[in-house]
């Protein structure tokens, strides 16, 4: 068994932005061995150390050992994504009768906030809290018109160790003009370890969703209503290995080169509820995800191409990690039939996600 560790908070330098500003990392550690390292660049989860069934800790999120690698190639490793996570068709939508033109960066579509989304900025540290529930809060101001989005948006992200083997993420935002907001965290998880050299196809995944969104070749939701998961490779309600049906001849698996789809969770509410469970049979690590968001994007690392060394010099390749991204449904600003992503002055956008770890 791993001996108890002293809870602590540490602050260190990790690199320098092109404008000369310092990039910092804040490390949060609990007494049971859970340790999260938060990077100010992109308000990112840079490291997440979790004990396995034998008490051995390993880092379970993909990323890089040095800051220059994050700058060299945009891969969203652990990053806060916004203003709008996922895609908006045609990089445009109508809001209160006016057409909003965004910056396109995924063919004709806008993806993850545009060419310079929230993941590309060095966030400022607001507070660092020590004690039994250590936390760090980061913030940035997104000016009116950034990447085409209306309204000045004040966003904050708080990472906190909320209990034994629990990491919480809370995101809030306020605007001075009507706009759309959809934030998420884009961590790539491999419960075997980011340096293990193993893929995630034998990870067992459970998703609390009866429907998913079919997509076209541009990964934009089809005009039809959400598709039932029953009788398809997208049925993870009772749990299934990620790789068990990933090569089935299903049109949506062909379109996405695997899983890269929004699963429709229970309607959004103020409180978090169970959304997904991921388990690695060899290490024994188990992660449960709870959220108050209406959707969960499941992405099986289909486009990891080994183009740049990751942690420990590993070349990350297809299915070396899985992303579980809670957020609003893609293209919601163009789909009045989807749960809204609108934010008006006087309202507060509030995203809550809880990662709970155990061993089995």
Catalytic residues: 186, 325
- Rounded CA separation 117/44 (Å): 13
- What letter does residue 236 receive in the DSSP assignment? -
Q: Which residues contact 254 (CB under 8 A, 6 or more apart)?
A: none
- Residue 38, SS3 per DSSP: strand
Record the tokens describing residue 178, joined without a space.
């009507």
- Rounded CA separation 116/159 (Å): 23
Cα angle: 264, vertex 162, 298; to 5 degrees: 25
**How does 217-249 read in b/e, with b if 16+ C-beta sit within 10 Å?**
eebbbeeeebbebeeebbbbeeebbbbebbeee
User: Cis bond leading into 83, ω under 30°?
Assistant: yes
For residue 244, give the H/E element and its range: none
Record the tokens describing residue 299, joined without a space.
């992405």
- Rounded CA separation 114/105 (Å): 6
- Rounded CA separation 142/55 (Å): 42
For the beta carbon of residue 195, count every other beta carbon within 10 angstroms. Answer: 16
């Amino acid at each position: 068994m791993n001996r108890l560790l002293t809870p602590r908070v540490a602050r260190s330098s990790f690199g320098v932005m092109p404008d000369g500003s310092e990039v910092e990392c804040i490390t949060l550690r609990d007494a049971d061995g859970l340790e999260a390292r938060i990077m100010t660049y992109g308000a990112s989860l840079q490291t997440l150390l979790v004990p396995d069934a034998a008490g051995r800790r390993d880092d379970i999120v993909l990323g890089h050992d040095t800051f220059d690698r994050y700058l060299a190639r945009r891969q969203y490793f652990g990053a806060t994504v916004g203003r709008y996570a996922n895609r908006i068709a045609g990089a445009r939508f109508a809001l209160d009768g006016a057409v909003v033109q965004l910056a396109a960066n995924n063919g004709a579509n806008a993806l993850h906030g545009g060419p310079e989304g929230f993941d590309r900025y060095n966030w400022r540290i607001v507070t660092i809290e020590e004690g039994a529930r250590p936390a760090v809060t980061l913030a940035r101001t997104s000016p009116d018109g950034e990447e085409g989005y209306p309204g000045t948006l004040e966003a904050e992200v708080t990472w906190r160790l909320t209990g034994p083997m629990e990491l919480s993420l809370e995101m809030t935002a306020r605007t001075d003009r009507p706009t759309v907001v959809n934030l998420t965290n884009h961590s790539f998880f491999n419960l075997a370890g980011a340096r293990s050299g193993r893929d995630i196809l034998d990870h067992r995944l459970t998703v609390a969703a009866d429907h998913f969104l079919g997509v076209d070749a541009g990964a934009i939701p089809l005009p039809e209503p959400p598709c039932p998961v029953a009788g398809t490779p997208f049925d993870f309600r009772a749990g299934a290995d990620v790789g068990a049906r990933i090569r089935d001849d299903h049109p949506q698996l062909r379109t996405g080169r695997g899983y890269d789809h929004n699963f429709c969770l229970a309607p959004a509410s103020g409180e978090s509820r169970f959304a997904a469970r991921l388990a690695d049979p060899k290490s024994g690590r188990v992660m449960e995800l709870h959220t108050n968001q209406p959707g969960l994007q499941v992405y099986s690392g289909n486009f990891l191409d080994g183009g740049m060394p990751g942690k420990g010099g590993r070349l990350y390749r297809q299915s070396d990690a899985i992303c579980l991204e809670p957020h609003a449904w893609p293209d919601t600003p163009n789909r009045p039939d989807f749960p809204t992503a609108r934010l008006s002055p006087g309202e507060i956008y509030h995203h809550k996600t809880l990662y709970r770890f155990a061993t089995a």
